[in-house]
Amino acid sequence: MNEQHYLENLQDIKRMMLRSSKFFSISGLSGILVGSYALVAAWWAREIISAAHAYTRMEIIVALTALAMATLVLALGTAAFFAHRKARKHNESFWDPALWNMIRAAVLPLITGGLFGLGLILNGYYTIVASATLVFYGLSMVAAARYTYSDIFYFGLLEILTGLVALFFPYYGLWSWAFGFGVLHILMGIWLYFKYDRRSVSKS
């Protein structure tokens, strides 16, 4: 029994606490891809809007909502696929209680934001849809951050800030949306990749 032994004990305690309560399999690469999808979707949305005169209002809304949904499904699928791959590479299980905790924390603001956005669209408040979705998304990231890398907390704050700034530039909704969901995701992905993923790859 010496100092080394006690120190090891304390390190074991800390490691076990972290491993069991936080989900560390979020992959930086998925952030980069998700951001890229958002940029493509924003560009596509702009094309649809610029051709708006040829269609009815309802057709435009349906087209834009379908585009948003498709992007969301693709983004979630990509994030799950890369997280699963990262967990397997590190011999950790994907369905950890930490993942459930994270999903549970994120899902309420996320669904609230989605329905809120839908309500805004159906009532014709198009100019603040981008702002509202960004703010709710940021809130869900802040909530989820408790169960994963703390960097996600600051990412969430940036999303909220983007949404609030967008509120004052209502006619640039698509640009703020592209910045928040596109550029910020890509930057966060690059950040996570260089801070966590690359180092652990070179170690193994």
The whole-angstrom separation of Cα 104 and Cα 44 is 32
Handedness of CA 185, 151, 155, 153 (dihedral sign): positive
Q: How far is the CB of 24 from another protein (least distance, A)?
A: 13
Does position 6 bind another protein by CB under 8 A?
yes
Does position 12 bind another protein by CB under 8 A?
yes
> Cβ distance 108 to 136 under 8 Å?
no
Nearer to another protein by Cβ, of 101 and 127: the residue is: 101
Choose the binding region for another protein from 10-18, 35-43, 74-82, 183-191 (rule: CB under 8 A): 10-18
Of 87, 96, 129, 178, the one binding another protein by CB under 8 A: 96
According to DSSP H, which parts of 51-96 are helical? 57-89
> Cβ distance 170 to 127 under 8 Å?
yes
Choose the binding region for another protein from 6-14, 70-78, 109-117, 166-174 (rule: CB under 8 A): 6-14
- CA dihedral defined by 128, 132, 135, 139, rounded to 10 degrees? 170
Of 49, 62, 93, 198, the one binding another protein by CB under 8 A: 93
CA distances from 53 to 120, 124, 147 (A): 21, 17, 46
Residue 71: partners with Cβ closer than 8 Å, 6 or more residues away: 37, 38, 41
Per-residue binder mask for another protein (CB under 8 A), 119-158, x = binder: ----------------------------------------
Does position 104 bind another protein by CB under 8 A?
no
Does position 97 bind another protein by CB under 8 A?
yes
Does position 13 bind another protein by CB under 8 A?
yes
According to DSSP H, which parts of 1-56 are helical? 3-21, 28-50
Does position 200 bind another protein by CB under 8 A?
no
Contacting residues toward another protein, per CB under 8 A: 2-3, 6-7, 9-10, 12-14, 16-17, 19-21, 93, 96-97
